[in-house]
Structure 1
Amino acid sequence: MTTTNIRDFIAQARFNRFHAGMLFWSCFIITFDMYDLVVYGSVLPVLMKEWQMDPIQAGAIGSYGIFGMMVGAILFGILADKLGRKRVLMASIILFSLASALCGFAPGPLEFSVLRFLGGLGIGGILPCLIAMLTDYAPKGWANTFIAVLMCFFSVGGILAAFVSMLLLPTLGWHAVYFVAALPLLLLPLMNKYFLDSPFVLLGQGRIGELRTALAKVSPLAAIPENTQFIGLQEKENGSPVAALFTNRRALGTIMIWVAFFMCLLMINGVSIWLPKLMVTAGYALNSSLVFMIVLNAGAIAGTLLLGKLSDTWGVKKVLVPMFVVSAISLTLLGYGSNMVVLLVLVFITGACTMGAQNISYSFVSQYYPSFMRSTAIGLASGVGRLGAIVGPTFGGVLLTLNLPVAMNFLFFAIPGLFAALAFAFVPLAVKAREGQEREDGPDTVPYASAANAT
């Protein structure tokens, strides 16, 4: 009987049409994931007038979606490792797409709020499944690049929401803007063959035929003998995947990752919400302040792609720690800048080193933990990070009520970046070889991880 090391088989594969299709449909889903979140802001003025809502009610409805995302990331992340990622991913797509489309039929704020929460649940479950799947099936040297490209499409979704709203709101009304969200549901059969369960689940559940089919898609030209024995995957540890986050010397790393995600999303959401206001306070016109937001997001896209490539070369941790330090420095300097060109450069760097680094952080988490608990780890890190996303806008509001100098406001927003850098610096990376687990992918390895580029 011959043996096939699954991890080595996937690592040695060449990028092909299947990988391109898997990445394309993943990016498509993320685009509509963000579309659903952002489009609420586009229709909000119309809804407030039609349903006679005050700002507090409108803000609460916006929070329901974010709260749903936090719950969905944790709940569906755990379920994905238990039931299989493909099943949970499909359920999440159906839930968020259907709930979003039904928002167009909502007769009032109550029904709209319930649908926003349900849509948020589905949205929360999508990212842990997609990131884990891309990590599972990425050839050697491609994992961080895959995830970097994926995360860029959050920005594409925001742009799409703006354009669709501009096109449909004046002619067809706000209802039609939400009907567009049904598109992923309609195209689900086309993307079905590109979404796969993890090799660990397929092997563990005895679905050998599906495992062989998945590996044939990953490397069509590589022959797998009929009587082969599959090896190379870490055995599932006793207990739940949640408990496994704190066993086998993972506890410190897990806590530090959660701290980093909380701090980074607090900083990102706070800056994203309040940057225009801070620049207006500093004496710039509103239109100029909106330009800063465009540059901030452009920096995020460029930074994500660049940092993803650098992470595949040097390792994620070696990229993340200095980038968060640079983000804190650039944010602090924004408070002292006066030349427009210098300010735009600083804003671009801030976007690259805050949003860009946060996007790559998901890649770090996906490679820090073994396959059997990967979706759980990503879901919980994302859920804790969402708490920071909720705190960030409030944190900025409190700062503005204190009437501090503009430079001090930017300094306080920079401090969480330093905490994020410090937290990632304390995530322990150690070599822990097990039978079938030895691999030489990079300069360091992480505890029990199935890919070594998370260094």
Structure 2
Amino acid sequence: MKTIEVNQIIDNARFTRFHWMVTLLCALLLVFDGYDLFIYGAVLPVLMKEWGLTPVEAGALGSYALFGMMFGAFVFGPLADRIGRKKGVAISFVLFSVSTFLSGFASTPTEFGIFRFIAGLGCGGLMPNAVALVNEYAPKRARSTLVAIMFSGYSLGGVLCAGLGIYMLPRFGWQSMFWAAAVPLVLLPVILWKLPESVGFLLRQGQQVKARQMLGQVVPLEQLGADVHLVQADAKGASVPMLDLFQQGRAMGTFMIWLSFFCCLLMVYALGSWLPKLMAGAGYSLGSSLSFLLMLNFGGVVGAIAGGWLGDRFSLPKVVVAFFTLGTVSIALLGLNSPMPVLYLLIAIAGATTIGTQILLYANTAQFYPLAIRSTGLGWASGIGRTGAIVGPLLGGWLMAAALPLKLNFLVFAVPGLVAALAIGCFILWYSGKAELPSVSGAVARPVV
């Protein structure tokens, strides 16, 4: 019986059509996820007028979906380590698509908030599992780039949302934006057919035959007959306690990752929820305000792909620090009375260094934790980060209610970027002298510094 270590095969595999399939399928799922997450910012000015919402009430309503995302990340991340990432992704996709569609039938803010909370559960569950799946199958030399390409679908969803909003809101009303979310469900059979299951999960379940078949798609030229026994250095049982995230020298990294997620998602959702309304209040039309949201997400696409490319060639955490620093400066400058081309450029940079940096944080987190607790680590980081996402819309509502000058609003939004840069800087300093970290099984994981 020949024994083969799975991670070594995947890490050194040549890039194939299989890798593109996994990356693009997960990217497509995140397009729909991103559409769902940015839809509230697109319809917010209309909802505030139709339902007579105060800024504080509107901020609270925008946080309902983010509360759901927090719980969804906590639940579906660890759950996928037990039932499989493919099932976790499919359940999350159906949950947020159906709930978003039903949000279009809400007649009161309470009904709307309930549907948005349920949709948030699905969105929160999809992200960490999609990241973990792509990260697991990607060759080591292209891992950050593939995760970034996959996660750029999230920003494309925001671009799609803003573009449809410019066309659909004046013609068909805010409800049509939510009804359109049911269309992607026609792709569910394709997702169930083509999306692969985690090879690590298959091995933990003792499904050697299916694991060999799956690995045969990753390395088609490798001979994986019945005499081959697959093992995984950091695989363990189905039980994945959260305490593993703090063991074997990972405590400091876990805390700094959580803090950076909190700050980054606060900025992303503060801008995503309130940028159109802030710009409308500054005298821009609704169409122009939505074009700012479109530019924010377009910048997120560019930032994610560029950051992933830089992360594979340089230190990923150092790229994250640079992005956070640039994002802090660009957001702070948004409140100044700049010419329109400069304003668009600053918004694009802000999108690249907030939405794009969020994607890099997921990639860095996936590389920090060993495979057996990767979904758990991503789920908890995402869940803790969702508290920042919840604070973002609320903070915007409080600032709007206080009627502060525009530049002060953006200065407040910029402060978390500085805190996040310092957190990842501490992460780099703490692990820069450590060549490797023990994993939960005694194998080693190398810190990505």
Structures share a fold, TM > 0.5? yes
CA distance change for structure 1 residues 248 and 434 in 2, over 3 Å: closer, same or farther? closer
CA distance change for structure 1 residues 7 and 417 in 2, over 3 Å: closer, same or farther? same
Work out whether residues 237 and 244 of structure 1, in 8 Å CA contact, stay in contact via their aligned partners in 2. no
Cα offset, 1:405, TM superposition? 5.8
> Structure 1, residues 88-131: CA drift from partner, whole Å, max 9, x if none?
22221222223333445557655544333222211111011100
Is structure 2 residue 448 aligned with structure 1 residue 454? yes
2:141 counterpart SS class: coil
CA distance change for structure 1 residues 27 and 402 in 2, over 3 Å: closer, same or farther? same
CA distance change for structure 1 residues 338 and 168 in 2, over 3 Å: closer, same or farther? closer
CA distance in structure 2 between the aligned counterparts of 1:358 and 1:394, rounded to whole angstroms: 20
Work out whether residues 299 and 351 of structure 1, in 8 Å CA contact, stay in contact via their aligned partners in 2. yes
- Tell me the equivalent position of 1:55: 53
Aligned ranges 1:23-422 → 2 under 5 Å = 23-40=23-40, 53-55=51-53, 60-104=60-104, 110-164=110-164, 177-236=177-236, 240-275=240-275, 292-334=292-334, 338-399=338-399, 407-422=407-422
CA distance change for structure 1 residues 371 and 326 in 2, over 3 Å: closer, same or farther? same
CA distance change for structure 1 residues 291 and 93 in 2, over 3 Å: closer, same or farther? closer
CA distance in structure 2 between the aligned counterparts of 1:363 and 1:291, rounded to whole angstroms: 29
CA distance in structure 2 between the aligned counterparts of 1:115 and 1:295, rounded to whole angstroms: 28
> Structure 1, residues 112-164: CA drift from partner, whole Å, max 9, x if none?
44333222211111011100000000112222112212222223223333455
CA distance change for structure 1 residues 169 and 302 in 2, over 3 Å: closer, same or farther? closer
Work out whether residues 59 and 393 of structure 2, in 8 Å CA contact, stay in contact via their aligned partners in 1. no
Work out whether residues 198 and 371 of structure 1, in 8 Å CA contact, stay in contact via their aligned partners in 2. no
Cα offset, 1:167, TM superposition? 6.0
Unaligned runs of 5+ in 1: 439-446
CA distance change for structure 1 residues 60 and 330 in 2, over 3 Å: closer, same or farther? closer
CA distance in structure 1 between the aligned counterparts of 2:367 and 2:214, rounded to whole angstroms: 20
Aligned residue pairs total 443
Cα offset, 1:25, TM superposition? 1.7
Cα offset, 1:213, TM superposition? 1.4
CA distance in structure 2 between the aligned counterparts of 1:106 and 1:36, rounded to whole angstroms: 16
2:129 counterpart SS class: helix
After superposing the two structures, state which structure 1 stretch, 96-105 or 313-322, moved more: 96-105
CA distance change for structure 1 residues 82 and 287 in 2, over 3 Å: closer, same or farther? closer
Cα offset, 1:190, TM superposition? 1.2
CA distance in structure 2 between the aligned counterparts of 1:341 and 1:168, rounded to whole angstroms: 26
Cα offset, 1:359, TM superposition? 1.6
Cα offset, 1:453, TM superposition? 7.9
2:206 counterpart SS class: coil
CA distance in structure 1 between the aligned counterparts of 2:266 and 2:68, rounded to whole angstroms: 18
1:134 is aligned with what amino acid? Answer: V
Cα offset, 1:317, TM superposition? 0.8
Q: Under a length normalisation based on structure 1, what TM-score does the superposition of the two structures give? A: 0.84
Work out whether residues 317 and 454 of structure 1, in 8 Å CA contact, stay in contact via their aligned partners in 2. yes
Work out whether residues 259 and 423 of structure 2, in 8 Å CA contact, stay in contact via their aligned partners in 1. yes
CA distance in structure 1 between the aligned counterparts of 2:317 and 2:285, rounded to whole angstroms: 39
Cα offset, 1:327, TM superposition? 1.9
1:414 is aligned with what amino acid? Answer: A
Work out whether residues 200 and 233 of structure 1, in 8 Å CA contact, stay in contact via their aligned partners in 2. no
Work out whether residues 13 and 139 of structure 1, in 8 Å CA contact, stay in contact via their aligned partners in 2. yes
CA distance change for structure 1 residues 398 and 92 in 2, over 3 Å: closer, same or farther? closer
Unaligned runs of 5+ in 2: none
CA distance in structure 2 between the aligned counterparts of 1:287 and 1:222, rounded to whole angstroms: 54
Work out whether residues 30 and 153 of structure 1, in 8 Å CA contact, stay in contact via their aligned partners in 2. yes
- Tell me the equivalent position of 1:22: 22
Work out whether residues 270 and 396 of structure 1, in 8 Å CA contact, stay in contact via their aligned partners in 2. yes
CA distance change for structure 1 residues 229 and 100 in 2, over 3 Å: closer, same or farther? same
2:435 is aligned with what amino acid? Answer: V
After superposing the two structures, state which structure 1 stretch, 38-47 or 14-23, moved more: 38-47
Cα offset, 1:417, TM superposition? 1.1
1:302 is aligned with what amino acid? Answer: V
Work out whether residues 329 and 414 of structure 1, in 8 Å CA contact, stay in contact via their aligned partners in 2. yes
1:328 is aligned with what amino acid? Answer: T
Out of 426, 436, 440, the position equivalent to 1:432 is: 436
2:318 is aligned with what amino acid? Answer: K
Cα offset, 1:212, TM superposition? 0.8
CA distance change for structure 1 residues 106 and 344 in 2, over 3 Å: closer, same or farther? closer
Work out whether residues 90 and 191 of structure 2, in 8 Å CA contact, stay in contact via their aligned partners in 1. no
CA distance in structure 2 between the aligned counterparts of 1:286 and 1:106, rounded to whole angstroms: 23
CA distance change for structure 1 residues 33 and 201 in 2, over 3 Å: closer, same or farther? same
Cα offset, 1:268, TM superposition? 2.7
CA distance change for structure 1 residues 18 and 311 in 2, over 3 Å: closer, same or farther? same
2:4 counterpart SS class: strand
- Tell me the equivalent position of 1:442: none
CA distance change for structure 1 residues 238 and 423 in 2, over 3 Å: closer, same or farther? farther
